[in-house]
Structures are given as C-alpha cells and as structure tokens.
C-alpha cells in the first residue's frame, strides 16, 4: 500500500515544467508543395463541415484507428507476409482488403491534417493535444511500412526479405526521431515533405493492387545497361530515400538556429541528450535479429516489426 501511495502521489513534473505548458506555443513550418497547394486548401474547406463540439483529440484518435484497422486486417490475412509472395500454398489477400486499406489510409491522413485546424478553429490548441497527436504518429511510423510490405510479400524474386524491410522500418523511425530532435533544438517543427508523398503513394498503391491485383507488381523495372530491379526493391529504395532525404535539412536548420541564435541555444550536452535513449534502442533492435537463436526475423517478422514500433513510440515520447 505504501508503494501504491507513493506511485499515486509521485510528482512526475516539476512546478516549473507544469507552468511551461501555459507559455508553450506550437510552431511548425510546412513547405511541401503538395501540402501547400493541394492538401491545406482541401483541409481548410473540409474542417468547416465538422461541428465545433467535435473534439480535435477525437479526430486524432479516429485517424489513428483507421491506420490500426489496416494493421489488423493485414495481420489477419497475412501475418507472415506470405500471401502476396505468389509462392505455392499461399492464400492471396481478398481484394476488398486493398480497397479498405486505401480508404483507411486516406481517412487517417485527412483526419491527421484537420485535427490541428479544428483545435485552432475552436480555441483548444495546446501542448497536450500536440503531444497526443505526435505520440500516435510515432506508432503510425511502424504501421505504414509494415502494411505496405503485404503488397509485395516476402517473394524471393520480386521483393525483399523481412530483414531488409526491418531496416526500412528503422530508417523511418530514425527520420521521425530526428525531425522531432530538430524541433527540440530549434523550437520549430519543420514538417518533412516525405510524409505527404508517402501517404498519397500508399493510397495509390493500395488502389492499384485492388484494381489490378498483387500479381501486377511481380515484374522487374528495366534499368538499361544496369540490368533490372524488382518492384519490391524499388519500393524499398523509395522508402529509404524518402525517409532519409530530410536529414540534410535537419542538420542545416539546427546549425542555422545556433548561428543565427533563433533556436533554444542549448549546451552541447543538452542538445544531444535526447539522442542517447534512441541510440541505445537503435543498437539493441539492430543486434536482436542477428543474435536471435531461433532466427526470429524469418520465423515471425511481424512480431519484430510491431515490437520495434511499440518501443520506438515509447522512446520518442
């Protein structure tokens, strides 16, 4: 009972930290042409149809649930990522699942885009809403690539093995983390261009798979004298590039915030302090599949993907 009493009365935040919530202002810069000229006008129009009593956090949570629905559906029909491999003895994913996945991911994207607009519209914008939003986004970083993997499966000819898809997930986690580390130092969240492209790309890929079937992805892209590249490998490369393309801008923005004295001007130790839990996590999750005595990545890759995403979400927030 004494331990329970201490747990319930433990002061997790200091008074200074609590007071900081009142002075906090969300600051974000979105320079993506797709966002600026297509999505934001659409979101500004759409949010007006929601009643003012509709809580922004409810929008955030509903959007997250649509992403989770894709994870649940594809986990049920394709737990081991074999369904779209085209190999003998496998059962393809029903076509309606792909249509559902396209609708779900677009709804998730839309609700994620308008929750902040609804908050500002009704005067409920605040740090707790931002924490809730980005906390759920950090788990979605696992859901998006994991679900896309089911389009190609672990085909030996036209896709990549689970370990390489695992590297894609880690790359996405890294990009998500450094974007928020950038904000930790600069005070501004510079939204990556890759997010909008990945959401539109995911929607298009699910729709194409629903319309044409997963078999249409079973070909190699001709590269002239360099040979050819299977479409599963193309997806792998695109996800890596889209995730890492933001890194140079992160370095430049953090550097400029110190040179121009526009950021938080933290000491070197304070600036890199959030990195240590993530680096520890990253090293351990890289080593685990190699040290696994029962080859966990081949036996149950989905479990590793979901475990890595769950731990990452906790580490990043």
| Residue 134 annotated in active site | yes
Q: Which of 134, 180, 240, 317 is catalytic?
A: 134
**CB of 220 closer than 8 Å to CB of 229:** yes
CA 226 from centroid of its chain's CA atoms? 32
Tell me 94's DSSP state. P
DSSP the chain: -HHHHHHHT---S-HHHHHHHHH----EE---HHIIIIIHHHHHHHGGGS-TTS-HHHHHHHHHHHHHHHHHHHHHH-TTS-TTS--TT--PPPHHHHHHHHHHHHHHHHHHHHHHHHHHHHT---HHHHHHHHHHHHHHHHHHHHHHHHHHTT-TTTS--HHHHHHHHHHHHHHHHHHHHHHHHHS-EE--HHHHHHHHHHHHHHHHHHHH-GGGG-SEEE-GGG-EEEHHHHHHHHHHHHHHTTHHHHHHHHHHHHHTT-S----HHHHHTTHHHHHHHHHHHHHHHHH-TT-HHHH-HHHHHHHHHHHHHHHH-
Catalytic residues: 134
């Amino acid at each position: 009972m004494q331990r329970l009493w201490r747990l319930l009365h433990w002061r997790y935040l200091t008074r200074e930290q609590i007071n900081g919530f009142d002075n906090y202002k969300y600051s974000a810069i979105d320079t993506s042409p797709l966002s600026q000229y297509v999505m934001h006008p659409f979101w500004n129009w759409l949010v007006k149809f929601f009643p003012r009593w509709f809580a922004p956090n409810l929008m955030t949570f509903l959007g997250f649930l649509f992403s989770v629905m894709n994870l649940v559906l594809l986990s049920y029909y394709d737990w081991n990522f074999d369904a779209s491999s085209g190999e003998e003895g496998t059962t393809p994913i029903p076509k309606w699942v792909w249509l559902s996945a396209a609708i779900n991911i677009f709804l998730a994207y839309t609700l994620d885009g308008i929750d902040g607009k609804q908050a500002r519209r009704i005067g409920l914008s605040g740090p707790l809403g931002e924490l809730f939003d980005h906390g759920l986004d950090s788990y979605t970083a696992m859901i998006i690539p994991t679900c896309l993997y089911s389009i190609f499966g672990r085909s030996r000819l036209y896709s990549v093995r689970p370990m390489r898809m695992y590297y894609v997930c880690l790359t996405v986690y890294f990009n998500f983390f450094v974007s928020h580390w950038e904000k930790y130092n600069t005070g501004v969240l510079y939204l990556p261009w890759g997010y909008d492209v990945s959401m539109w790309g995911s929607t298009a890929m699910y729709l194409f798979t629903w319309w044409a079937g997963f078999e249409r992805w079973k070909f190699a892209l001709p590269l002239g004298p360099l040979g050819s590249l299977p479409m599963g490998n193309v997806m792998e490369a695109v996800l890596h590039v889209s995730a890492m393309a933001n890194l140079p801008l992160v370095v430049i923005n953090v550097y400029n915030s110190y040179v121009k004295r526009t950021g938080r001007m933290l000491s070197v130790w304070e600036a890199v302090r959030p990195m240590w839990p993530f680096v520890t996590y990253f090293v351990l999750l890289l080593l685990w599949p190699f040290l696994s005595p029962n080859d966990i990545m081949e036996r149950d890759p989905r479990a590793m993907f979901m475990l890595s995403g769950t731990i990452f979400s906790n580490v990043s927030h």
